[in-house]
Amino acid sequence: MLATSLVIFACYSLAGFLIYKHIGQATHARRWQDLSPALVGVALQSIQLKILIYPGDGLLNLGFFIAFSLITWLVSLQIMISSLYRPLHSLGIVMFPFTGLAHLLAVATPTPAPLTGIASQFIQSHIMLSVIAYSLIMLGAIQAATLAYQEHAIRNHHPGGFIRYLPPLHDMETLLFQMLSFGFVFLSTALISGFFFVDDLFTQHLVHKTVLSIIGWVILATLLFGRYRFGWRGKVAIRWTLTAFAFLMLSYFGSKLVLEFILPAST
């Protein structure tokens, strides 16, 4: 499995390199030639993720690195799907190699937390909704960071490099809020399903995750309302997006980090 994960990392890295090398040659055919190694990486990673998450004997493994690999895989998949109708493949310059590295860590690093039995179908649905929401908001955060860099370059009259090949600022902002809107819908559904199907979301091992997720949800809801009611955009939209992303990632991965690495090490 480690050898295959190295192939996956190589495929993603090659795709990122090809996109960077041909960033100015924005034909549809060229775009998909550059994305083809990432397509191979996505396919191989999906096979390995199924083996890692469902190792058999009725067990479910969503340890820290495996969950991170799953979310980055979803982000890379979303970039590829979005590239069908928008020139968003440039987001893969950084994201694709990062996804390959995340998966390499998932395979090479043992899971310190015990595997759990596969929960009910409703709990599994809640978990998948949460993962999809996190991946959409993570993609939105990447888009917001790219938008911040693009806006900074234009304001300082240095729109060079790959910046000049990105869509106009207005289109980038529209796309950002589309991603955040979808992420918000999935996050809202995940939180509602959690209150219905999880026994007690405010138990000691879940309270941090629940509170931080709700804070992230409130920030995201405020941003979307501000966009609709007051036309928020630019730096305001970027800051609120990155803040919501920080709280949501801290709620999921921060809790996992404490439960799987810090607490076991202290006992």
Number of domains in the chain: 2
Residues 143 and 148: their CA atoms lie apart, in Å, by 9
Same domain, 247 and 262: yes
Of 84, 118, 152, which closes a domain?
118
User: Which pair of structure tokens corresponds to residue 87?
Assistant: 């020139």
Residues 164 and 131: their CA atoms lie apart, in Å, by 33
Q: Give the tens place of pLDDT for each residue, 160-205.
A: 666 766 777 888 888 899 999 999 999 999 999 888 766 655 555 5
Of 54, 84, 118, which closes a domain?
118
Residues 21 and 24: their CA atoms lie apart, in Å, by 8
The model carries a pTM of 0.85
Host domain of residue 243: 120-267
Of 118, 145, 170, which closes a domain?
118
Residues 243 and 241: their CA atoms lie apart, in Å, by 5
Q: Give the tens place of pLDDT for each residue, 40-93.
A: 999 999 999 999 988 877 677 888 889 899 999 999 999 998 887 777 788 899
- pLDDT value for 194: 81
76 or 127, which is more confident? 76
Q: Give the tens place of pLDDT for each residue, 199-257.
A: 655 555 567 788 899 999 999 999 999 999 999 988 999 999 999 999 998 887 876 66
Same domain, 254 and 145: yes
Same domain, 82 and 130: no
Same domain, 105 and 126: no
